[in-house]
């Protein structure tokens, strides 16, 4: 089963991504976690996201597009990245989420991928 780990970080965590000495410890923890996912053969994909202030949010209101600079909500933690994992159970996904570096300073949301919806929302390749 596919699970998405949605990684939430605080603004100061985004700041730790720079090239400072503190950033090396931050990056090192992420490299070790990524290596463990690869070694376990469960990593499907994932990417870090740019800082929340680079986001643009789009909504439709009465058929008119409304644009908001920045993330959807102003909370202490913002979506910082995601990881897709192929795992046998929710319990396994929760174990890997607990090992994620962000679990110790932010939050990691575990959400099953709705594979049954994919055929309803994708277009078959006509080539």
CATH superfamily of the domain spanning 2-121: Dimeric alpha+beta barrel (3.30.70.1060)
Q: Where are the beta strands (DSSP E) in 1-127?
A: 2-9, 43-48, 56-61, 64-69, 78-86, 107-112
The residue ranges of every structural domain in the chain are 2-121
Instruction: Please tell me which residue, 81 or 51, carries the higher pLDDT value.
Output: 81
What digits encode the pLDDT tens for the residues 91-114?
A: 999 999 999 999 988 889 999 998
């Amino acid at each position: 089963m596919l699970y998405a780990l949605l990684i939430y970080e605080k603004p100061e965590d985004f700041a730790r991504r720079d090239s400072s000495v503190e950033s090396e410890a931050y990056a090192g923890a992420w490299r070790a976690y990524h290596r463990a996912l690869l070694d376990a053969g469960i990593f499907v994909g994932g990417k870090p996201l740019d800082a929340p202030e680079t986001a643009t949010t789009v909504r439709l209101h009465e058929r008119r597009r409304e644009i908001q600079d920045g993330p959807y909500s102003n909370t202490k933690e913002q979506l910082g990245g995601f990881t897709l994992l192929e795992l046998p159970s929710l319990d396994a996904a929760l174990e890997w989420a607990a090992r994620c570096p962000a679990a110790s300073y932010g939050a990691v949301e575990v959400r099953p991928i709705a594979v049954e919806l994919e055929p309803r929302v994708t277009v078959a390749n006509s080539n």
